[in-house]
Chains A and B, each alone.
Chain A
Amino acid sequence: MSTTTAAAPVRTQSAPAPKHPPGHEPVHNYLLEPGPSPDVRGLARVWPTVKAWVTTVDHKRIGVMYLFAVSFFFAVAGIAALLVRAELMNPGSDFLTADEYNRMFTLHGVMMVFLFIVPSIPGSLGNFVLPIMLGVKDVAFPKLNLASFYVFIAGASIAVYAILSGGIDTGWTFYTPYSDETNTAVLPMTMAVFVAGFASILTGINFIVTIHKMRAPGLTWNRLPLFIWALYAVSIVQVLATPVVGITMILLAMERLLNIGIFDPALGGDPVLFQHFFWFYSHPAVYIMILPAFGVISELMGTFSRQKVFGYRAIALSSVAIAMLGFLVWGHHMFVSGQSPLSSIVFSLITFLIGVPSGIKVLNWVWTMYRGSVWLTTPMLYALSFLFLFTIGGLTGIMVGTLAVDVHLHDTYFVVAHFHYVMMGGTVMAMIGGLFYWWPKMFGRMMSETWGRISAGVVFFGFNMTFFTQFILGSQGMPRRYFTYLPEYHDLHQVSTIGSWFLGLGLLLVLGNMIWSLFKGKPAPGNPWGAATLEWTHATSPPDHHNFHRTPLVTHGPYDYGVLFSGDGYSGDGAGGDGSGGDGSRGPAPIPNPELGAPQEMEKSIDLGLAQPKPSRD
């Protein structure tokens, strides 16, 4: 081959090119169409636009509406958290009474768990990205998808009503017997959880059927993006576990209303049974919260290391393994509840087993970066934050899963810090990273990279300042959910509170960046990051109303980045994580310029004879 002058050059920097291949410019931008025609102006546009959005069955619009809804609840619950932290600045009452404090942390917990984290990534990013990643026009049941959003809003409205009618002070777990006796709004709040649960179930059913039945030609199970694998595992958990929390809430309501002895020992019930019921859902629920984040991180690690995700099958199957094992560990929340020692031992053992698939994932992400070209964009910075914080959260999870240690650490700030490291350091970081990653695809605008990186730094610093101190506080015995504390905890509480302000500032920067980009951001090319999954290679930014001009044909794995630049367009095996097949032998793929974008593969499609005629070249 030495004499040939026409060796395929590997483009390290794509030449200034049109943002979209000719004939692939966005035709029906989903954000604008269907909607009022351009000659309708002024206020007359409002009603048709609103009507088009609230009656839409387009998964992208539903995803955007979910994004706004969960962001709103995240903001409200975040403000509640800031108030809780501010109250803890000094021992004793600063501006909240003890009762108000109880209501405040319960509001924070219930809203964050049931109205933000559980629907966050599947509802917003999942709804938006999943069908495009699979190469289809929409999810399997579009109307059910819209119904799930409305059910979620209905549940959220009941929750808001419960808060306005006096709030609730049981903590987000609604433990009996206190929740049987308290005079606060337990009934409306449990009904809100019951209703919001159905939104989860509907989303789960939709995703399972879509993944099983609607994949584009060539998209085999071994070529599914890892985000899809994660959402698949999550959907199974949602469908199987969520009914249980519904039943639990109904039982609690029956007991409060009709005095049936289920959980109340005075009526012949068993209060620990409530904890069994509750955690049989709520432990799988924490995997509902974290698994989609794993999926997002897998995408980010591959794209921003510019090479195949290491151990593709191991990551995919470990998602499913975590989903399955997650059903067998709920008792580790109940080590000091009076449950039998035998079950505590069994639960503790299985809890350790969860560490294996989680460890596989972390190891594979780290190995994905090894010998790649790590490209430190904002999404990657959030992904690296995730890696760091989730590992701390996971390892402390092993500590509190240890039977003897947990007896001392149970209900201290150590546990609070542990699950915040997993939930916020894990899920929220991944969600923000995913938002920065898919934002150009969702809204057709680039976010500010500089401010994005600053925000990542501030969030990371503020987060650790807030919660690492709580590990220390917890190990020294500061109990959780306490309104006041002994003087020796004063300094660390102050550090934690100041950290929470940094954290809030960082999240405000993220919000400001998003709003700024909607109005001032540079127009995004179709594939700014040079990623190789269908939503980047075959769709415009923002996607058309029906996602694709023609049904895409998948010819390579989801992380064969080199294929886009080498032009041969075919890789032998799908997504072998072993580096064989494809063109993985050539090392990491080049880094594209995000403002120009990487080549797309619009031509690789199945011609059904339904394509729009190409516009004449002017």
Chain B
Amino acid sequence: MAENVHNTSAHDPADHGHHGHHILSAKLLLTVFFSLVGLTIFTVGLGLLEQNEIVHLGAFSVPVALAIAGVKATLVAMFFMALKYDNKVNLLAFSLSIVFLVVFFVFTFLDTGFRGSFDDFSATPIDQTQLEELRLQERNDAILPDFEAQPLLLQGDTALIDPTP
């Protein structure tokens, strides 16, 4: 099976035997390192800006922080752990596990980020129906006296009753 053959020809001549690891140039390593440092500074800066209420991310504050952290983790895995130069199957396995973690986070965030937003999705907001009910009740109370049964005798016939004991 061709796809199962470990392809060693893709490695450069710097490989040492079949377990040889890819040698990265110092320039690339430094670039990755400073990118990581830069991203860390960016995360902290963003946090400070949010604290001082200059930037408003609201519900997206955690996802943004996670996204930056994800980029950093990817850089570490790709270059420092040399996943980029390894057998692509390992990359697939690693990526799949990350994808499933992201799926879990994203879908859970769809819940936690939008809790209590029933009104936005309801054709008739629940408070509006309650308001309608209240108004009907008030109207009912207002016109109720007109519908009450009237007594036949509005004033007692005092003449029939002896006022003196």
Tell me the minimal C-beta distance from B73 to chain A in angstroms.
18
Q: How far is the CB of A118 from chain B (nearest CB, A)?
A: 19
Please choose the segment from A268-276, A303-311, A390-398 that sits at the chain B interface, where 4 or more of its residues have CB less than 8 A away.
Answer: A268-276
Shortest Cβ gap from B119 to chain A (Å): 9
B112 at the interface (CB under 8 A from A): yes
CA distance A353 to B2 in the complex (A): 34
- A24 vs B95: C-alpha distance when bound (angstroms): 47
Q: Which of B109-134 contact A (CB under 8 A)?
A: 110-118, 120-122
Determine whether the beta carbon of A340 is less than 8 Å from that of B103. no
Tell me the nearest residue of chain B to A346, going by C-beta.
Answer: B110
Q: Is the CB of B114 within 8 A of A340?
A: yes
CB distance from A243 to the nearest CB of B (A): 9
| Docked complex: B54-105 residues within 8 A CB-CB of A | 96-97, 100, 103-104
Known contacts A327-B103, A345-B121, A346-B107; A212/B4 CB under 8 A = yes
Q: Chain A's nearest CB lies how many Å from the CB of B125?
A: 12
**Residues on the A chain within 8 Å of B103, using CB:** 327-328
Q: Is the CB of A340 within 8 A of B100?
A: no
Name B117's contact: one of A244, A270, A334, A341 (CB within 8 Å).
A341
Query: How far in angstroms is the closest Cβ of chain B from A22?
Result: 34
Q: Is the CB of A341 within 8 A of B118?
A: yes
Contact A340 B107 (CB under 8 A): no
What is the number of residues of chain B that contact chain A, defined by CB distance less than 8 Å? 21
Query: Is A339 within 8 A of B4, CB to CB?
Result: no
A340 to B111, CA, bound (A): 5
**Interface residues of A: mostly helix, strand, loop or mixed?**
helix
Distance, CA A481 to CA B159, complexed state (A): 72
Q: How far is the CA of A342 from the CA of B114 in the complex (A)?
A: 7
A343 at the interface (CB under 8 A from B): yes
Q: Of A240, A273, A343, which one neighbours B114 at CB under 8 angstroms?
A: A343
CB-contact partner of B100 in A220, A327, A331, A339, under 8 A = A327
Q: Which residues does chain B contribute within 8 Å of A340, judged by CB atoms?
A: 110-117
Closest to B114 in A: A340
Q: How far is the CA of A220 from the CA of B103 in the complex (A)?
A: 32
Min distance, Cβ A41 to any Cβ of chain B, angstroms: 49
Q: A212-B4, A240-B97, A345-B121 are in contact. Are A339 and B104 (CB under 8 A)?
A: no
Contact A339 B111 (CB under 8 A): yes
B residues in contact with A347, CB < 8 Å? 107
A330 to B104, CA, bound (A): 10
Summed over the interface, the residue pairs from A and B with CB atoms below 8 Å come to a total of 56
Which residue of chain B is the closest to A236 with respect to CB atoms? B96
Instruction: List, in ascending order, chain B residues with CB within 8 A of A220's CB.
Output: 1
Q: A212-B4, A276-B108, A343-B110 in contact; A338/B115 too (CB < 8 A)?
A: yes
Q: Does A280 sit within 8 A of B, measured CB to CB?
A: yes
Which residue of the partner chain B has the closest CB to A342? Answer: B114
Hey, what's the 0/1 contact readout for A433-466 against B, CB within 8 Å counting as 1? Answer: 0000000000000000000000000000000000
Q: Does A614 contact B (CB under 8 A)?
A: no
Say yes or no: is A213 at the interface (Cβ < 8 Å to chain B): yes
Assembled-state Cα–Cα distance A213/B6 (Å): 12
In Å, the complex CA distance between A338 and B118 comes to 10
Give the residues in chain B near A215, CB-CB below 8 Å: 1
**Could you tell me which residues of chain A, from 267 to 287, have a CB within 8 Å of some CB in chain B?**
270, 272-273, 276, 280
CB neighbours (8 Å) of B116 from chain A are: 340
**Which residues of B sit under 8 angstroms from A334, Cβ to Cβ?**
111
Residues on B with C-beta less than 8 A from A213 are 4
Which chain B positions have C-beta within 8 A of A342?
A: 110-111, 114, 117, 121
CA distance A334 to B108 in the complex (A): 12
Among B103, B107, B122, which residue has the most Cβ atoms of chain A within 10 A?
B107
Q: How far is the CA of A193 from the CA of B116 in the complex (A)?
A: 33
- Compute how far the CA of A280 lies from the CA of B111 in the bound complex, rounded to whole angstroms: 13
B119 — nearest CB in chain A belongs to which residue?
A341
Q: What would be 24 A-B contacts, judged by CB atoms less than 8 Å apart?
A: A220-B1, A273-B112, A276-B108, A276-B111, A327-B103, A328-B107, A330-B107, A331-B111, A334-B111, A338-B115, A340-B110, A340-B113, A340-B115, A341-B117, A341-B120, A341-B122, A342-B110, A342-B111, A342-B117, A342-B121, A343-B110, A346-B107, A346-B110, A347-B107
Interface residues of A (CB under 8 A from B): 212-213, 215, 220, 240, 244, 270, 272-273, 276, 280, 327-328, 330-331, 334, 338-343, 345-347
Given contacts A240-B97, A328-B107, A346-B107, 14 further A-B pairs with CB under 8 A are A212-B4, A220-B1, A327-B100, A331-B107, A331-B111, A334-B111, A339-B111, A340-B112, A340-B115, A340-B117, A343-B107, A343-B111, A343-B114, A347-B107
